[in-house]
Amino acid sequence: MIRIMLKSKIHNAKVTEKNVNYQGSITLAKDLIKEADLFPFEQVHIYNISNGERFITYVIQDEKRPGVVCLNGAAAHKVSIGDKIIIASYSQMSDEEADFHRPKILILDKDNKIKETKF
């Protein structure tokens, strides 16, 4: 059997920007992408802690701005600047792989810096 399991999660990210006039996605700081084991253009699920919205988009990497969490395009309508969100990615795996799998979880502080990492 193939199961869909949580691969990685960025918890308590604060939305720093929104840009309706963009074709879509979530722009994330390069260090957050690397530490969360994400790839540019990888699908992610967004769960808005502040208002309950849930949606799917993909990752765009920001090379220069640390701590940036920017929702673009239609997704920008589902957040406000300052909202707390969860960014989750999932992976398909066999039962055998799932037995040993532990997701990588980053917990961020108020400035979107990594406060804690869990496996």
Catalytic residues: 25, 58
In whole angstroms, give the CA distance from residue 103 to residue 60. Answer: 21
In whole angstroms, give the CA distance from residue 9 to residue 2. Answer: 20
In whole angstroms, give the CA distance from residue 64 to residue 50. Answer: 27
- Residue 95 CA, chain-centre distance (Å), reads 25
